[in-house]
Amino acid sequence: MQATEESAAEAVPASVGITMEETLIDPCLYLAEMPFSATYFPLGFPLQIRTNTHEVLAAAKESWGTFEQRVEMPPIRMQVGLRDGPSVCPGIMVPRGHKHLLMGIADAYNFFVMDLKKDLSFAWISPGAVAHRRYLRYCVLESCMLSHIANRYAAPVHAACVSRDGRGVLLCGKSGMGKSTLAFGCARAGWTYTSDDASYLVYGRSDRQVLGRCNSIRLRPSAADLFSEVKGRPLTPRMQGKPSIEIETRELPAFQTSVETRADFMVFLNRRPGASQELAPFPRELAHAYLKQHLNWDEELRREQVASVERMLSAEIYELRYHDLAWAIDRLEHLVRENR
């Protein structure tokens, strides 16, 4: 782990937060002290966190403690403050935004605000968010950081990514087509795993480099019927989308992982029960429309994203029509071997 931590008040307990009395004196909390700090490298990008509780740093370490720095740049800055409030787990963060400004709001005690152009975000959280570590990680810390990356430094793609013998395959398709399930199945079969349903195309590259959250994989609850590793695990809170189950890949000793790979193929998944199974060419114009659907609408932020998308379209593009998981994994094996 490449993380540094400083503390100006080590004697302050981890549960310290802004009290009601302090709120009355400084209602906007302008003067709130954030004595603890640490630097982490999610997906290789530097992030500096300042906070008034060690619990936030512990949650950040769970999310990003295994990543090493890959990008030389000034750190993205995040400030997360704990204040008095409800002890129950907050509701789902509702996203709202305007150009380079982005917010996530659960209630008056739990929200974040981001300035994407200044690489700056701040959040206030309640004791309930701190007590529910998964909520703090997924709905606050990871949502903020991945939004910074996806808008300023890499183009986001709704796709899983796996590789075999150094050749990467982006598994694309709408929700329910089995991207995460197929990625998990490939990893169990000896492939290298990079991401489940969110991949990032790095700006300024001449190749098709893809970054991903290789330290975890999220699956639908129905995946427990296919994989014994999923059975009995709790549901993971999410900002948006259907319930899922997250597994840390370090808990899966047989898994090979890599935070980055070069994508040589885009494969659009079309899972239909009982339908014929085949790998067929896929129209490049449809792939182009798919890649552009999650890009930022701000012209300045979007420019680099479009360039990354255009570069990705130089990959070989296919549609995988399937209903049997084992057949799909085997067909991808043949695709990689046939095109060495």
Q: Which residue has the tokens 């994203």?
A: 305
Q: CA-CA distance, 190 to 102, in Å (whole number)? A: 39
Between 21-30, 77-86, 154-163, the lowest mean confidence (pLDDT) is in 21-30
Q: What are phi and psi of 62, to 5 degrees?
A: -60, -40
3-state SS class at 327: helix
Question: Closest Cα to residue 300, out of 233, 158, 203?
Answer: 203
Residue 139 DSSP code: I
Give the pLDDT of residue 211.
95
Helix axes 284-292, 299-312, angle to 10 degrees: 150
Position 149: which residue type?
Answer: I
In the chain, the domains with their CATH numbers are 4-152 (no CATH), 155-338 (3.40.50)
Q: β-strands 167-172, 260-271: how paired?
A: parallel
Q: CA-CA distance, 187 to 33, in Å (whole number)? A: 45
Give the pLDDT of residue 244.
84
User: CB count, 10 Å around CB of 96?
Assistant: 12
3-state SS class at 231: coil
What are 277-298's pLDDT values in tens digits? 999 999 999 999 999 888 877 7
Joined tokens for residue 20: 């009601």
Give the pLDDT of residue 246.
86
Joined tokens for residue 260: 């980055």
pTM of the entire structure? 0.84
- H-helix or E-strand spanning residue 288: helix 284-292
Give the pLDDT of residue 242.
67
CB 92 within 8 A of CB 132: no
Whether residue 189 is predicted with pLDDT greater than 80 in this model: the reply is: yes
Burial string for 229-243 (b: 16+ CB within 10 Å, else e) reads bbeeeeebbbbeeee
Give the pLDDT of residue 1.
41
Q: Which of 10-19, 70-79, 201-210, 298-307 has the highest mean pLDDT?
A: 70-79
Whether residue 206 is predicted with pLDDT greater than 90 in this model: the reply is: no
CB 227 within 8 A of CB 184: yes
Give the pLDDT of residue 11.
35
What are 73-132's pLDDT values in tens digits? 999 999 999 999 999 999 989 999 988 899 999 999 999 999 999 999 999 999 999 999
Kindly state the average pLDDT of the residues 221-225.
88
Give the pLDDT of residue 16.
61
Q: What is the mean pLDDT of the chain?
A: 89
Position 293: which residue type?
Answer: Q
Give the pLDDT of residue 233.
87
Give the pLDDT of residue 12.
37
End-to-end CA distance of the chain: 35
Give how far the C-alpha of residue 115 lies from the chain's centroid of Cα atoms, to the nearest Å. 19
Whether residue 4 is predicted with pLDDT greater than 70 in this model: the reply is: no
Kindly state the average pLDDT of the residues 143-153.
92
Q: What are phi and psi of 18, to 5 degrees?
A: -75, 125
Residues 248/218/39/255 CA torsion (nearest 10 deg): 40
Joined tokens for residue 14: 């981890």
Opening angle at CA 304, ends 336 and 283, nearest 5:
40
Position 60: which residue type?
Answer: A
